[in-house]
Chains A and B, each alone.
Chain A
Amino acid sequence: MNRRWIDLISRAFTALTGLACATLVLAVAMILGHVAYHGWAGLSWKFLTTAPRNGMTEGGIFPAIFGTVFLVVLMTVAVVPLGVSTAIYLREYAHADSRWVQAVRMAIQNLAGVPAIVFGLFGLGFFIEFVGKGIDAAFFGGKLYFGQPAILWAALTLALLTLPTVVVSTEEALRVVPRGHREVAYSLGATRWQMVRRVVLPQAVDGILTGTILAVSRGVGEVAPILFTGAAFYLPFLPTRLNQQFMVMNYHVYVLATQSPDIDATLPLLYSTVLVLLLLTLTLNSAAIVIRSRLRRRMKGSK
């Protein structure tokens, strides 16, 4: 092959890879632009702070925002300790190639492959019918408290769904801590737990938070797992207890898009709701990124 051909191929390849990147940017820009263009006008303080009215053709989305934040916070509280402990066990304590570790890893991989709707059904069957009904039978004399769709069960179902994300990213973060740092800790007389707590975990905070960010983004986005486990079509009140149902943004989008009696009246609301959902995800992500960079600076000492 002569030189000109090689140059040509090289240039074509450069152009192709650049094109791939441009496609990505364009897609994101189009989605954001379209939603922002149509949704911006409907955004107001009132929209954010009032409940839907008149068969969801008027009013705002406050209950859905509240429900979403509540749900995600609960989910995070559940998934981070569980996921991080699992990763620490797998990476720092367990024998690397034991049967047990292989079984756990296989379980995590399979968990990651389960479709979201199956998590929803599992949540219904396990958390509500088994755990919830069990609690009711054991502590409340069979009266209905926990054996029904509720924000607690929805959050736990989402936590299960996002568990692999947290485990895998934490494990990755633990893996890149140099072996030498562990040896230093041991040589200074650290116990295994002290080594993990004082030397390994501080360096893994980054990765743990990255995993949490991914988990939160995913949690905000998924509808299927919460469909049977606690998301409500419409509620006249805000959830204040763990065993109440809740409204949530992504399900609200679905409701507005498909269940409205008056499409023309609902459409602007729908755009604004989607815009708020996107902004909310963005805010949650940025908050996590800010926390992460703060931690990073505090840990390393000033430059």
Chain B
Amino acid sequence: MPVPTEDVFRIEDLRIRAGKKELLKGISLSLRRNEILSAIGPSGSGKTTFLRCLNRLTDLEEGLTIEGRVLFKGKNIFDPETDAIELRRKVGMVFAVPMPLPMSIRDNLMLPLRLQSNSLEEDADGRIETCLRAAFLWDEVKDRLSLAATSLSGGQQQRLCLARSLMVRPDVLLLDEPCSGLDPISTAKIEEALQGLKKVMSVVLVTNNVKQASRTSDRTAFLLMGELVELGETGQIFTNPRDSRTGDYVSGRFG
């Protein structure tokens, strides 16, 4: 058993600049094991940049200057010797727009396994079922796995993307406004799925939906213009915020 309080991610004074514009102005926080940490804040507050830092998708963008340290299991992911490919296999991601690839449902789920052909899963079908069940999609697609993934509804597609990111057993799951375009039922299913997933991994949930943060997460971080204004237990953030800006935001007075 892992020690429950051990930090998975430890972020120390993370600063990101794009040219002269500061996207993140020195953020420090930790992600614990088996918790759901949500990041809220108005658009442009740096939530997504922060998230994309954690699996180094920021590598794909040009002109970003990154300072500070992001320790994943004690190792700085921006060290030259850290393998971004290995990191991303441990830190899964679900994007704001459902992104099924134009292939069958099964091929979508097999893709992460095929990318690591050296450790090809023996019981791939079993793994597919496990992940689809965890994403609450199994009953809807179990008889039509060879169907085009793009033929699913938007909510189903997003749950497929969730299942796909689980296939290689990540330690951390990053979600970038995963429910922004979804109907309430799909949203509920994804939130329920996250409650199950946090038993085996840590989750970072970036959301524009303040209520979603209060329903779903253990702790909540409030970001504003690249600054971490406040981080605390979700109950405390929503009922008894220390910073007045946090209170204004969660009560809907701005943002």
Contacts and interface: CB of A to CB of B under 8 A. Distances in A.
Contacts of B105: 301
Contacts of B103: 202, 299-301
Interface string A132-144: 0000000000000
Contact of A180 (B99, B116, B149, B151): B99
A194 B115 contact: yes
B59 to A, nearest CB: 8
Contacts, number: 79
Interface in B219-248: none
Nearest to B145: A301
Interface stretch (B28-36, B81-89, B186-194, B195-203): B81-89
Interface in B49-105: 55, 57, 60, 85-86, 88-89, 92-93, 95, 97, 99, 101-105
A300 B148 contact: yes
B88 A189 contact: yes
Interface in A30-52: none
B168 interface: yes
Nearest to B164: A188
A188 B147 contact: no
A302 B104 CA distance: 7
B171 interface: no
B111 interface: yes
Given A194-B115, A299-B103, A302-B148, A189 B89 contact: yes
Contact of B116 (A182, A189, A299): A189
A40 to B, nearest CB: 44
A187 interface: yes
Given A186-B57, A188-B88, A189-B85, A299 B165 contact: no
B45 interface: no
Given A184-B95, A186-B60, A300 B55 contact: no
A299 B85 CA distance: 25
Interface in A224-239: none
Interface string A106-120: 000000000000000
A262 B86 CA distance: 75
A108 to B, nearest CB: 24
B112 A188 contact: yes
A181 B112 contact: no
A188 B167 CA distance: 9
B114 A198 contact: yes
Contact of B115 (A181, A183, A189): A189
B115 A190 contact: yes
Nearest to A299: B103
A298 to B, nearest CB: 9
B52 to A, nearest CB: 9
B165 A187 contact: yes
Contact of A184 (B99, B107, B148, B151): B99
B150 interface: yes
A184 B97 CA distance: 11
Interface in A186-239: 186-191, 194, 198-199, 202-203
Nearest to B112: A188
Given A180-B95, A189-B89, A198-B111, A300 B102 contact: yes
Contacts of A184: 95, 99, 101, 161
Contact of B151 (A188, A203, A303): A303
A191 B85 contact: yes
Nearest to B150: A300
Contact of A189 (B86, B106, B146): B86
A194 B106 CA distance: 18
Contact of A301 (B93, B97, B99, B146): B146
A241 B55 CA distance: 55
Given A180-B95, A300-B150, A302-B147, A188 B111 contact: yes
25 contacts: A180-B97, A181-B101, A182-B60, A185-B111, A187-B55, A187-B57, A187-B88, A187-B95, A188-B89, A188-B92, A188-B164, A189-B85, A189-B115, A189-B168, A191-B85, A199-B111, A202-B102, A202-B103, A300-B104, A300-B148, A300-B150, A301-B107, A302-B146, A303-B147, A303-B148
Sorted nearest first, the 6 A-B pairs with minimum C-beta distance are A301-B104, A189-B89, A187-B93, A301-B148, A189-B88, A188-B112
Interface of B: 55, 57, 60, 85-86, 88-89, 92-93, 95, 97, 99, 101-107, 111-112, 114-116, 146-151, 161, 164-165, 168
Interface of A: 178, 180-191, 194, 198-199, 202-203, 299-303
Given A300-B103, A302-B147, 11 more contacts: A178-B99, A180-B99, A186-B88, A189-B88, A198-B111, A198-B115, A199-B111, A203-B102, A299-B103, A300-B102, A302-B146
